[in-house]
Amino acid sequence: MRLALLTLLTMTAFAANSILTRMAVDGGHIDAAAFALIRVLAGAVVLGMVLSLRGGGLPLLRRNRLPGAFSLAAYMIGFSLAYMTLDAGLGALILFGVVQITMFAHAALRGVPPTLRQLTGAGVAFAGLMLALWPGPGGQADPVGAALMIVAGLGWAVYTISGRAASDPLAATSANFLLCLPILLVLLVGTGLRFGLIGVGLGIVCGGLTSGLGYALWYSVLPRLDQSVAAVVQLSVPIIAILAGALLLGEMPSVLTLAAAALVVGGIFWAVTGRAVPAGRS
């Protein structure tokens, strides 16, 4: 029971990243670039504190560190900018679908032959993602926002893949957050950063609590979960984000969005319960 509650808490934290970002950026409390900076800074501080309390070094100079830091920066920037126009639940659905489908494709390209069940599930999930991205009425995705969230999803997929071999995921994540900060500063300074007190507060909560502590909690739970279970439980993230977006932000999902969510979640569930595949986090 304790493990189930901790897992649910972790998935809720991941979904909360979408809610908090949407609340801060769409609410006009802070601009998207400034929110990304605050989120990474707060995450680096909290992860550093957790690592310090646990003990262990900070592996800054490792072979995969730069790919990890740059892909994390792509995720952070795309994620924040996308929520200028996307609803929280729809954004989480696009992110989740892109990450999982990218990792299916990566496994296949690396010579891990997919089963018929995996191909079928990935195909259904891809169809759902296309439905979510299809232009038209009913609150479907803004093309620019959708493109930015696709960039975020690709960034998170690359980040996850590059960190799969990390012997200490928590230390590696702490180092990546730290190195991501100067990358964001170089890319975003001069873009007219605008900070507001509420926006900064939401960024600190998003970076320090739901990202930093959320990742730390996930890494403590993950070793106790089967790989297939770890993949399946993450199916709850876009569903939680859709429900929370409706309850907290008044963002009622359209029928097409709900249909897309059913296809994406159902397709990936079918695929990952057939044979375990690498699972990404958001």
For 50, 51, 160, 239, the CA distances from 56, given in Å and listed in that order, are 10, 7, 22, 36
Tell me whether residue 219 is in a domain: yes
pLDDT of residue 278: 45
Tell me whether residue 281 is in a domain: no
pLDDT of residue 110: 82
pLDDT of residue 136: 58
Tell me whether residue 77 is in a domain: yes
Tell the residue number behind the tokens 């969510």, with chain if given.
261
Under-70 pLDDT residues of the chain: 63-64, 135-140, 165, 227-228, 274-282
Q: Count the alpha carbons within 13 Å of 189 in the hemisphere toward its beta carbon.
A: 6
Tell me whether residue 282 is in a domain: no
pLDDT of residue 238: 92
Q: Give the integer Cα–Cα distance in Å for 75 and 43.
A: 14
Describe the chain by its helix, strand, coil percentages, rounded to 5: 75, 0, 25
Q: Say how many domains are in the chain.
A: 1
pTM of the model: 0.87
Tell me whether residue 193 is in a domain: yes
Tell me whether residue 160 is in a domain: yes
pLDDT of residue 280: 53
Closest CA to 26 of 84, 86, 89: 84
Range of the domain at 187: 2-272
Q: Spell out the residues 6+ positions from residue 254 whose beta carbon is closer than 8 angstroms to its own.
A: 138, 139, 140
Tell me whether residue 278 is in a domain: no
Q: Give the integer Cα–Cα distance in Å for 268 and 159.
A: 20
